[in-house]
Structure 1
Amino acid sequence: MARIGVLSISDGRDFVHRQTEEFIADAECRLVEALRGAGHEVLTAPSAITSNREAVRHGRELADAHPDLTVLHYAVWAFPQFTMMTAEAIGGPMLLFGSIDPVQPGMVGMLAAGGALDQIGRRHWRAWGAVDDELVATIGRYATAARTVGSLRGQTFGRIGGRPMGMNTTVANTDQWQRRFGIDVEEIDQWELVLCSERVPGAQARAGREWFERLAAGVHYDGCALTPDLLERQIRSYVAMRELITERGLDFCGIKGQPELTDNFATMDVTEALLNDPYDFEGPKAPVVCATEADMDGALTMQILQSVGGGVPALFADVRHFHADRGIWDLCNSGQHATWFAARSDDPAENLRLVHLHPEVFFFPAGGASIQHFAAPGEMTFARLTRLSGTYRLQLTRGDFERYDDETNAELARQSTPEWPHAFARWDAPADRFLARFGANHVHAVPGDRRATLRAAAELLDIEVEDLGEPPSPGAGR
């Protein structure tokens, strides 16, 4: 949940404010209690704003508490300059809420204030109406978007290795990231991962292997591409990445993997899946976004999706195949899918009973286990930050994951790579439009319809949103 500031704006005439003070306080109380009831932390001022000095003082005091979003509340007619002074003092994301009540012209106060802000180009959102569940949800979405964007600034992305297999879409401009998102990029050689993994205690690696053997639907050793020693090497790599994340202060990361590690060390499937999971063999853990192929824009998209999704794991997948006869997409990419997606449970036993560890396929001669399962059904938002002529855009669509009977799942998986995880997706975007316009081979997803929150976040970032499930506007470019 978010931290929300609430400031009520009033009339600047003393004799008017004396008559409306109680009305304003009662209306503010209803708003504050509703937001707190939804789980948000709410900060307020000691009184409504009735002068420029109060606007600056209350605004600065609230700004010092670093709210994700500040709601300026209009229950009555309010002098617009108070809003202008408050906005200057606040500085951060702001929403104007106008109470709809025929007794007092709160809506008029909101419109006058909003128009004044428009004249100077001060971005803000607006909401109006009764204090009900719909209003609280609307404010919550904007607050979540503001929290998401604000949290990016000051984060560090750890890129383990460089560009994989000539994939330009996985490499972003670090200057552009610093300027637009406030994110630093820490470059780390893959050799660090190998060296750190050698220092992981044998007992810890063994515990991870036995955890999979005990809880997974199957660990299919073949004595060559997958052995107990290779699985323990993958566990060591995971533990080593956790240590690197702590030592280097990384907030999210990506591992190149191909071809150096996958040719000579081990595939990173287990490492990447466990980092994105909310648990491991030692207990609950906060998931850390880790993108395969060191995909920077993919990792950033996942970081945003994880935030708007309330902390649940975000999916990373290739757009592998379109089954035209069924109208579904097979989203499949090595072992990158977090095991959480198998049952969408915080209990690893619930997920792992649906997960198989298979010997890795010929693409990865160093061997190791691939994480295989079929994603649980449910509504999803699919999205990715892509770049058109160097400018970021957020491409998205709403859809659903589908899962079928065992025979159908297996038959569909055999048409691509059965050893890898699969998410069968049906989304709003028509196949022709998606294939003609989508700017990458990787796509990401989070449960629920999060499009409204993502649009608000993109607005704060000055990024265009392209909903591929909606027809493009006339004259829209590529």
Structure 2
Amino acid sequence: MAKNVKALKLPSIDKGTPKAPVIGVYATGDPRIDQESLTRAQNIVEIVSGELAGQIVTPDGNAVDIVYTDVLVDSESTADLVAQQFRDAGVNILICLPDTWAFPQLTTISLLQQFPQDTPLNITCGNSGPKPGVVYAQALHGAISQYGRMVALNVGSWPDTGLKPKPTKATIDSLIDWCYAAVTRVALKGRRVMIFGHDSMGMETALAHILPTRNTFGLEITRLDMKLLADMLSKNAYDKKELAALRAWIDKSVGKRLELKTETESKRFDQSLAMYLIVRDLMAELNAVGGGFMSQLEWGSDSRGVPLPVADLMESLFNSTFDHNGAKPAQPFGTEADCQGLLTMLFMTWLSGGNPPLFMDFRKVWEGAEIKALAKKLKIALPKSAPWLKKGVVDGNNSGSASLNWAVKPGSKPEAAMKKIAMPIADDAYFPGGGNSVTFVSPAGIEGIAGRLTYCSLNNKFSLIWDEAVTTSLPAKLEKAMCNLTNWNWPHTFLIPKYASMMEYKQYAPANHLHMTWGLPIARLQHWMDMTGVLNCTPWAARPSFIEGVDRPQPLVHLLAGGETAYKSLI
């Protein structure tokens, strides 16, 4: 036993901060290769690291740290050295950029074994012949895949010769997509979401699935009783000056489109605003990355109790990239405590670099023939070539959670969005507690991915059912009639899926809620599913199994294990 050794007391800190993703970039080498080739390999590391710097951001707008080393991993000893460098820098994501031949077990495998099993690893190389790094990349990729570990191979392109070869844009873009998936995987592991209330209105398709969520994503779900929020409202546990500022911002931005007929209705609306401030502060206290609120039935719909105002605006503000204080990160928030909806929006928001999510009911799916019949009834002439007439359209709308950003096109200013928004009194049949809904119609031309996570107890796996989609608009009279057929006073987004037919869309909806995020490349989503083991579910007859330049290449380990589903079931 060692003598005179004392335990070390750590210094005090004010508040714990969540783990940050850090990307470590390195290259391998072979001591037998000429110095010029080794210098070129070192330069590639610096060049690619520079290309990545500032390109990968978290939803709060902060750039992910990119660190690199000029030590070439060419042996077990240099693998130990680089591993130490990366540990000291907090690296939890690895990128290998080989440009020369090397020996897999002596180099990257020796490095990789010093990191947790689920540390994301990407091998990006040029298709260069002189030394050649692509041969090493293939050997390493195959070796790692054989022992069942996930690894992504990105065979890109940079010049065969020259000391400072510049990778093509496509090479870097593919790497950036993978980085976003890795950052989403790493940054959210160990984080938490905050849910008010219990099961989502009895919807089994929206249950929290605490253990699978923890085991699959590393996410914790903090569950709070809605009584706490009711009590904090009753105790005025919020900043009254900030409430006044929030109300003044709404009054100015929405004006007469805010429907308030009595002083009682005005006070209820203020309660709705106070709910946002209270829940925001609770989420900040918990370092929560997202949230949800059950509402129905106990909060605002059960007349046996004391119904309280709807949470529509609160939910919309969380999902938006602005509020009365200006720009802020979108903080995914699920209405009706829909945890699977929340998780869908959370991951898509992170994968897109912070773009606002849309929460909607999978409400009314219009076949082309149904649209024609309604138009005929209304005596509306229809354009023959309209895609919504040929393909059909989905009317997505829900009483809460609709991000205010979706009232306008991406890149629009908050002021423009608020001019498109109205806040009528909530439907008192659904919500006897009163309050105000948020309503708008999304503009045409917003492209993104629409889908939803789901879960099956038979294989204990999450799946993501998704398709590309675009928003559309219809003739004003027809659009108004379609909105009135469901709920006119809720937000509406008319959606056309790219590959799914309307029959398939109706048949394979995993739940009554649907979610969409713009600016999300498909390859990012697929890389993330590879890292998390989420099953990729696109049952659309019209979609090819692989679209080059859109999909990421299937990981080799999937093929070796008998296919994607087989591999993910085995892990």
Q: Does 1:5 align with 2:24?
A: yes
**323, 332, 335: which one aligns with 2:400:** 335
Residues in 1 aligned to 2:189 and 2:24: alpha-carbon distance in whole angstroms: 20
Residue of structure 2 in register with 1:152 after alignment: 188
Distance in 1 separating the partners of 2:467 and 2:27: 37
Counterpart-to-counterpart distance in 2, 1:250 and 1:63: 26
Aligned positions of 1:286-325 closer than 5 A: 286-325=329-368
- Change in Cα spacing, 1:159 to 1:419, as seen in structure 2 (3 Å) is same
- Is contact 1:144-1:453 (8 Å) kept? yes
The match for 1:359 among 401, 425, 442 is 425
Secondary structure of 1:6's match? Answer: strand
Q: Find the partner of 2:437 among 370, 374, 378.
A: 370
Q: Which residue of 1 aligns with 2:134?
A: 107
1:89 corresponds, among 91, 114, 138, to 114
Q: Report the CA distance between 1:305 and its aligned residue.
A: 0.8
2:495 equivalent to 1:425: yes
Task: Tell me how far 1:76 sits from its aligned partner.
Answer: 1.1
Percent identity, please. 22
CA separation of 1:466/1:225 partners in 2, compared to 1, >3 Å: closer, same or farther?
A: farther
Q: Which residue does 2:13 correspond to in 1?
A: none
1:36 — aligned with what?
53
Aligned to 2:559: none
Residue aligning to 1:253: 291
Can you list the C-alpha shifts for 1:208-265, whole angstroms capped at 9, x where unaligned?
2332221126434353698211211111111111122123332211100001222301
SS in 1 for 2:223: strand
Give deviations 1:148-202, integer Å, cap 9, x for gaps. 0112211112110111332111212212222221112212111111222231354
Letter in 1 for 2:308: F
Structure 2 vs 1, CA of residues 112 and 245 (structure 1 numbering), >3 Å: closer, same or farther? Answer: same
- Name the residue aligned to 1:80: 104
CA distance in 2, matches of 1:165, 1:432: 27
In structure 2, what is the equivalent of residue 412 of structure 1? 482
**Cα offset, 1:19, TM superposition:** 5.5
Secondary structure at 2:300 match in 1: helix
Q: Is the 8 A contact 1:434 1:468 kept in 2?
A: no
Deviations 1:23-55 (A, max 9, x none): 322333433333337466431113211211111
TM-score by length of 2: 0.78
Structure 1: unaligned runs, 5 residues or longer: none
1:26 maps to 43
Q: Does structure 2 conserve the Cα–Cα contact (< 8 Å) formed by 1:375 and 1:401? A: yes
2:525 paired residue among 431, 454, 474: 454
C-alpha contact (below 8 Å) 2:365/2:506 kept by paired residues: no
Q: Which moved more, 1:275-284 or 1:70-79?
A: 275-284
In the alignment, is residue 239 of structure 1 matched against residue 277 of structure 2?
A: yes
CA separation in 2, counterparts of 1:17 and 1:116?
26
The offset of 1:17, in angstroms, is 4.8
Q: Secondary structure at the match of 1:187?
A: strand
Would you say the 8 A contact 1:335–1:372 is kept in 2? no
Q: Secondary structure of 1:420's match?
A: coil
Compared CA separation, residues 426 and 387, structure 1 to 2 (3 A): same
Q: Which amino acid aligns with 1:65?
A: A
CA contact (8 A) 1:10 1:76 kept: yes
The residue type equivalent to 2:82 in the other structure is H
- Whether the 8 Å contact between 2:357 and 2:516 is mirrored in structure 1 is yes
Partner of 2:78: 54
Cα contact 1:289–1:303 (8 A) shared by 2:
yes
- Structure 1 pair 225/320, CA: closer, same or farther in 2 (3 Å)? farther
- Contact 2:23 2:66 survives alignment (8 Å): yes
Distance 1:151 1:349 in 2: 32
Q: What is the rounded CA distance, in whole Å, between the counterparts of 2:125 and 2:74 in structure 1?
A: 17
Work out the number of aligned pairs and report it. Answer: 474
- Judge which range, 20-29 or 361-370, deviates more: 20-29
Q: 1:463 aligns with which of 516, 520, 534?
A: 534
Structure (1/2) with the larger strand percentage: 1
Give the Cα separation in 2 of the matches to 1:141 and 1:84.
Answer: 24
Separation in structure 1 between the aligned mates of residue 508 and residue 274 of structure 2, nearest angstrom: 40
Q: Give distance in 1, aligned partners of 2:439 and 2:177.
A: 34
Per-residue deviation, residues 264-285 of structure 1 (Å, max 9, x unmatched): 0111101111111222223333
Q: Distance in 1 between matches of 2:492 and 2:328?
A: 24
The question of whether the paired residues in 1 share the 8 Å contact of 2:443 and 2:471 is answered with: yes
Residue 395 of structure 1 aligns with an amino acid whose one-letter code is I
Distance in 2 of aligned mates of 1:340 and 1:239: 20
Q: Tell me how far apart the structure 2 counterparts of residues 258 and 36 of structure 1 sit (CA, whole Å).
A: 45
- Whether contact under 8 Å (1:213, 1:219) holds in the other structure is no
| Residue identity opposite 2:538 in structure 1 | D
Task: Map Cα deviations across residues 345-379 of structure 1 (whole Å, 9 max, x no partner).
Answer: 56321111000001111211111110000123310
**SS across alignment from 1:364:** coil
Partner-residue secondary structure (3-state), 1:16: coil
* 2:267 maps to which of 229, 234, 257: 229
Are 2:470 and 1:400 aligned? yes
Cα deviation code 1:66-117 (max 9, x no counterpart): 4453111111111121121122124411111222223221111111111211
Is 1:291–1:316's contact at 8 Å kept on the other side of the alignment?
yes
Query: Structure 1 pair 154/449, CA: closer, same or farther in 2 (3 Å)?
Result: closer
Take 2:417 and 2:424, find their aligned partners in 1: how far apart are those partners?
16
- Name the SS for the 2:295 alignment partner: coil
Does the CA-based 8 Å contact 2:348-2:520 persist in structure 1? Answer: no
Stretch deviating more after TM superposition (378-387 or 42-51): 42-51
Cα distance between partner residues in 2 of 1:345 and 1:365:
37
Please say which of residues 392-401 and 82-91 is displaced more in the overlay.
82-91
Partners of 1:222 and 1:75 in 2: how far apart? 67
Distance verdict in 2 for CA 1:165–1:225, change over 3 Å: farther
Report the Cα distance in structure 2 between the residues aligned to 1:226 and 1:358, rounded to whole angstroms. 15
Correspondence 1:246-285 to 2 at 5 A: 246-263=284-301, 264-285=307-328
Alignment-mate amino acid for residue 186 of structure 2: G
- 1:279 and 1:286 in contact (8 A); partners too: yes
Q: 2:455 is matched by which residue type in structure 1?
A: R
Q: Which amino acid aligns with 1:9?
A: T
- Per the alignment, in what secondary structure is the counterpart of residue 358 of structure 1? coil
For residue 140 of structure 1, report the CA deviation from its aligned partner: 0.5
What secondary structure sits across from 2:134 in the alignment? helix
2: CA distance between counterparts of 1:230 and 1:142?
Answer: 46
Please name the residue that 2:413 is paired with.
347
